[in-house]
């Protein structure tokens, strides 16, 4: 069976390379009994992956149970999963089989595994290691033969670091990781999926399917879709059922989903709020550097003009005295003057990219600096940290130490500015 036939069988729409990779891995691992961890945002269809693994395995004729572990109360989850004996707790009026006993020989899909209590995680680890478990209120060891497919929409390693998830269980579950892409990672598939939903709804209720105009389609494709497939289906259902007009404009789409006009800005990580803001600061630094270079260029031109400077005739190669040791800018040289050679003769390294848009010639110009004082050479520290610290210092000075105004000037949050002030010891 190939990927296309699997898509048709399970109603999967899309041509995304990441989606195909996830399906391919699910198909390859299906015939084994290896534990699988399906990772992805909420609503991307992780349960479909578990059903593919089960239906393509040798267990397909046995029980498949999907359990949302995050929805099970902490006080009863052990009983639900592993069963209990009569009298094990108040209300236990008889023996009860758990899901692992009921699904023996089949597959259990444990969704939101990251929300499982720590004591239940210990029970689950024993089942995965040896196939053994004990009912609540019993001392008899039971055996089960269950294939476990787990799923999570959170970072389990982060929960391990927080002490909320067992490290040994994480590595036991993560034998074969499968990552299901979100809708924003497969934008070319969004409209195809939307059309499939609208056609299915139209067929179910015997109406004409809705159609999007180009602007509405562009909004649909560029939206972030935090709820993924589930949210897209809800929008398709609302438009199909509630709209009197079957031709959907962008205004109608915005009425149904107001947040669709929100810009899809880069995500700011919890511990890395500075990632985006530091990039803004870097851009600001680069623009300021460009302005400084333009100011320097104008200053040099003014110095040369005020001092009545001359440039040698490049054909005679005879040096002329200049009244400054400052390099003359390109505008005052004649057609055959070489900026690169002039700078090399003066002991400076030329910036090869400063005049990339202009032709450069190779004839040197000799300059006599004997009559003039040495210019001070400033060894600027061009590291990002130094420039960032300098900008923060200037902003604070400009606003008399008021962090809120300084943060607004820098384009960062006040909290980020406070952290950077603390980091730099300012």
Write out pLDDT tens, residues 305-317: 777 665 444 344 3
Confidence of residue 296 (pLDDT cuts 50, 70, 90): confident
Nearest Cα residue to 188 out of 19, 364, 355:
19
pLDDT at 358: 44
The answer to whether the beta carbons of residues 138 and 97 sit under 8 Å apart is no
- 327 pLDDT higher than 50: no
Share of the chain above pLDDT 90, in %: 54
pLDDT at 310: 58
The average pLDDT across 367-379 equals 45
Name residue 316's beta-bridge partners: none
Q: Residue 139 has what DSSP assignment? A: -
Distance CA(159)–CA(119), nearest Å, equals 15
Main-chain dihedrals φ then ψ at residue 90, nearest 5 degrees: -60, 125
Own/partner long-range contacts of 155-164 (Cβ < 8 Å, ≥24 apart): 156/37, 156/113, 156/114, 159/114, 164/114, 164/118
Would you list the domain boundaries of the chain? 3-181, 184-261, 275-368, 382-424
SS (H, E, C) 170-205: HHHHCCEEEECCCHHHCHHHHHHHHHHHHHHHHHHH
Distance CA(69)–CA(66), nearest Å, equals 9
Domain 3-181: CATH class, spelled out: alpha beta
Confidence of residue 111 (pLDDT cuts 50, 70, 90): very high
pLDDT at 279: 66
CA distances from 296 to 200, 302, 340, 358 (A): 67, 10, 18, 19
To the nearest 5 percent, what fractions of the chain are helix, strand and coil? 50, 10, 40
What's the fold here for domain 184-261?
Helicase, Ruva Protein; domain 3 (1.10.8)
Name residue 272's beta-bridge partners: 269
Name residue 38's beta-bridge partners: 151, 178
Distance CA(254)–CA(152), nearest Å, equals 31
The answer to whether the beta carbons of residues 372 and 325 sit under 8 Å apart is yes
pLDDT at 344: 52
- pTM, whole model, 2 decimals? 0.61
Architecture of domain 382-424: Orthogonal Bundle (1.10)
- 338 pLDDT higher than 50: no
Same-fold call for 3-181 versus 382-424: no
């Amino acid at each position: 069976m190939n990927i296309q036939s699997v898509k048709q069988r399970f109603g999967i729409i899309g041509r995304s390379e990441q989606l195909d990779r996830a399906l391919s891995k699910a198909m390859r691992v299906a015939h084994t009994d290896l534990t699988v961890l399906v990772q992805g945002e909420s609503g991307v269809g992780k349960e479909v992956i578990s059903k593919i693994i089960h239906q393509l395995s040798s267990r397909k004729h046995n029980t498949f149970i999907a359990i949302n572990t995050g929805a099970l109360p902490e006080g009863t989850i052990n009983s639900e999963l592993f069963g209990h004996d009569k009298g094990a707790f108040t209300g236990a009026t008889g023996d009860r089989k758990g899901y692992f006993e009921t699904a023996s020989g089949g597959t259990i899909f444990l969704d939101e595994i990251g929300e499982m209590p720590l004591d239940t995680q210990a029970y689950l680890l024993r089942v995965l290691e040896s196939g053994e478990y004990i009912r609540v209120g019993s001392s008899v060891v039971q055996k089960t033969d269950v294939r476990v497919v787990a799923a999570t929409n959170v970072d389990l390693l982060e929960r391990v670091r927080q002490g909320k998830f067992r490290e040994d269980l994480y590595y036991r579950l993560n034998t074969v990781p499968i990552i299901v892409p979100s809708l924003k990672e497969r934008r070319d598939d969004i409209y195809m999926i939307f059309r499939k939903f609208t056609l299915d709804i139209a067929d179910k209720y015997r109406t004409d399917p809705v159609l999007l105009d180009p602007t509405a389609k562009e909004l649909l494709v560029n939206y972030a879709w935090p709820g993924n497939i589930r949210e897209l289906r809800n929008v398709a259902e609302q438009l199909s059922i509630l709209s009197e007009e079957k031709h959907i404009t962008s205004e109608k789409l915005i009425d149904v989903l107001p947040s669709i006009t929100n810009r899809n800005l880069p995500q700011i990580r919890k511990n890395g709020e500075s990632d985006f803001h530091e990039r803004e600061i870097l851009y600001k630094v680069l623009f300021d550097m460009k302005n400084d270079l333009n100011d320097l260029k104008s200053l040099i031109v003014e110095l040369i003009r005020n001092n009545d400077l001359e440039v040698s005739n490049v054909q005679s190669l005879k040096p002329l005295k200049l009244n400054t040791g400052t390099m003359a800018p390109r505008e005052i040289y004649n057609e055959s003057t070489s900026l690169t050679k002039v700078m090399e003769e003066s002991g400076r390294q030329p910036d090869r990219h400063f005049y990339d848009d202009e032709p450069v010639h190779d004839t040197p110009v000799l300059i006599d600096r004997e009559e003039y004082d040495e210019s001070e050479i400033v060894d600027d520290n061009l590291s990002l940290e130094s420039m960032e610290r300098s900008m923060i210092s200037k902003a604070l000075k400009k606003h008399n130490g008021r962090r809120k105004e300084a943060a607004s000037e820098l384009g960062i949050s006040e909290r980020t500015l406070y952290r950077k002030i603390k980091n730099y010891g300012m």
